[in-house]
Chains A and B, each alone.
Chain A
Amino acid sequence: MGFLSNLINGISLGSIYAVIALGYTMVYGIAKMLNFAHGDVIMIGGYFVYLSSSKLLHLPPVLSVLIAMVACTILGITIEKIAYKPLRKATSLAVLITAIGVSYFLQNIALVIFGANPVTFTSVVSIPAIKLFDGQIVISGETSVAIVVSILVVIGLSLFIKKTKTGKAMLAVSEDKGAAQLMGINVNKTISITFAIGSALAAIAGALYCSAYPILQNTTGAMPGIKAFTAAVFGGIGSIPGAMIGGILIGVIEILGRAYISTQLADAIVFAVLILILMFKPTGILGKKMVEKV
């Protein structure tokens, strides 16, 4: 029973990683860059939820998550416009270093505004825990909500990309920017939309993550951010179902590692997974190699 309970907790944590990994993978797929500031947008999202639900405005949880989503969308678009757009023709190393710079910028801005003391985050989830097997397994509301929300997000995002014109434009841009332009697709606008979606998802992830681990400070986003990046690589960066699978696997590995191997080594195990993937299957589980045809 202990194992089943750990497994469910792993899937739940992994679901949050999956939502974050979607942001990484979409931006990578379309703008061909690793946005290492993505994790810190989670933290900013967390603070917006905190401020609007418990600290300042006392709004209902759903509304405060929506406010955080809007705020993070604006933040994401602004970051892209100011920091990344001028580097469109620069080397990928320059963009990567800029992204790390943006990450530290966000962390330190948050430090200045919100202070160094961690705040206690009030969970946005008010659903009661589910008890199974006469209470031998207790699934908290946060756990089940994280799983349900991430499934909805993945389905919604897949439908958006498959069914809408904007989604098709995103696929076209991710494959060939020049050819996309010849179709009349505005590449800059498409990249902007991608950042907007990724950042809105980061806000959702922030609310879920802080509800499960209710301590919020300026570095809160860094660890889930880097783990979600690992998840995105694990699943095959650029692939949406890959982000989902990678996220859940990383969550399960982390929780099972913590339960059965070592609490201290759990994070190390997660990153060892990253190293092993990069060594043996750099394209990840669902990553694909395109073969050019003559």
Chain B
Amino acid sequence: MAMLEVRDLNVFFGVIQAIKNISFDVNQGEVVALIGANGAGKTTTLHTVTGLLPAASGKITLDGKDLAKVPAHKIVSMGMAHVPEGRRVFASLSVYDNLKLGAFTRKDKKEIEDSLEMVFESFPRLKERRNQVAGTLSGGEQQMLAMGRALMSKPRIILMDEPSMGLSPLYVTEIFEIIKKIKSEGTTVLLVEQNANMALQVADRAYVLETGKIIMDGNASDLMNDERVRKAYLGA
């Protein structure tokens, strides 16, 4: 049994079908990428998995537990964190407060402090700016804050939506280094990216999404060498 299983998922926006019968798995310890063009349904998929959007039909399970009846705010305490598209940090709150909100559902006060230290170790810049208001951070710093905030919940699986979007190349490299580090610490990652090149470099496996359907899947290294993927997504 995979850690996260999505089966025959359909999602509608009004009459428009955004997700058409997709199925995929994320196994424990893997980095799985969901790649595809703008509007392919990547963000919709993640939003449905964490309960921000309702599914019309299909089944989503985490560790075998059906998520259909689980409200969005209960997902994080089940061990699944979501770094949303566009960061969505709490702009008027300090870096520190944002991180503390990441640990909102945790009761283990002492260990929250340990997590905070770990996040500051991974993102030294956040430590420097811990009392700064999040809205005044640069885009790259906000992305780090959003990732740090998700890590504060001590997730077993973390969903990341377009972490490289709008960032300078230097930050993009840094963000992907951090994803590798998260994986090396044993956390499972489901990564949604338009930057297919980078995504396939860190991922073990990938699914290619096109207008709401999965049109291809396989090992990341195989997909990287696939002629169609290279043409459509890698610009080769």
Interface of A toward B, CB cutoff 8 Å: 165, 168-169, 171-172, 175-176, 178-187, 290-291, 293-294
Contacts and interface: CB of A to CB of B under 8 A. Distances in A.
B73 A293 contact: no
A184 B91 contact: no
Contacts of A176: 88, 90
Interface in B109-159: 135, 137-139, 142, 149-150, 153
A179 B76 contact: no
B52 interface: yes
Given A184-B74, A187-B73, A294-B166, A175 B92 contact: yes
Contact of A172 (B52, B90, B135): B90
B101 interface: yes
Contacts of A183: 73, 76, 101-102, 104-105, 149, 153
A293 B104 contact: no
Nearest to B141: A293
B105 A184 contact: yes
B163 interface: no
A179 B91 CA distance: 11
B72 A181 contact: yes
Contacts of B101: 168-169, 172, 180, 183, 185
Interface in B84-101: 84, 88-93, 97, 100-101
Contact of A165 (B76, B89, B91, B104): B104
Which among A171, A176, A179, A182 has the highest number of chain B CB atoms within 10 Å? Answer: A182
Nearest to B74: A184
In the A-B complex, the 6 residue pairs with the closest CB atoms? A184-B105, A181-B72, A179-B88, A184-B76, A183-B104, A181-B73
B90 A182 contact: no
Contacts of A293: 135, 137-139, 142
B42 interface: no
A290 B137 CA distance: 13
A168 B93 contact: yes
B40 to A, nearest CB: 21
Contacts of B139: 293-294
B142 A182 contact: no
A176 B84 CA distance: 11
Nearest to A175: B90
A294 B141 CA distance: 10
B140 to A, nearest CB: 10
A171 B104 contact: no
Interface string B64-82: 0000000111111100011
Nearest to B91: A290
A104 to B, nearest CB: 34
B97 A182 contact: no
Contacts, number: 77
B50 interface: yes
Given A172-B93, A178-B52, A293-B138, A184 B77 contact: yes
A194 B86 CA distance: 28
B90 A186 contact: no
A185 B91 contact: no
B73 A171 contact: no
Contacts of A169: 101, 104
Contacts of B77: 184
A168 B90 CA distance: 10
Given A181-B71, A185-B101, 13 more contacts: A168-B100, A172-B90, A172-B93, A179-B88, A181-B51, A182-B150, A183-B76, A184-B104, A184-B105, A184-B153, A185-B73, A187-B73, A293-B137
Contacts of B72: 178, 181-182
A253 to B, nearest CB: 29
B134 to A, nearest CB: 10
Contacts of A185: 73, 101, 104
A178 B138 contact: no
24 contacts: A165-B104, A168-B97, A168-B101, A171-B97, A172-B93, A176-B88, A179-B88, A179-B89, A180-B73, A182-B50, A182-B72, A182-B81, A182-B82, A182-B150, A183-B101, A183-B104, A183-B149, A184-B104, A185-B101, A187-B73, A290-B135, A291-B135, A293-B135, A293-B139
A183 B73 CA distance: 7
A290 B142 CA distance: 15
Nearest to A293: B139
Contacts of B75: 182, 184
Contacts of B142: 293
B91 A186 contact: no
A242 to B, nearest CB: 14
Nearest to B159: A182
Contacts of B104: 165, 169, 183-185
Given A168-B101, A293-B139, A184 B73 contact: yes
Contacts of B71: 181, 186
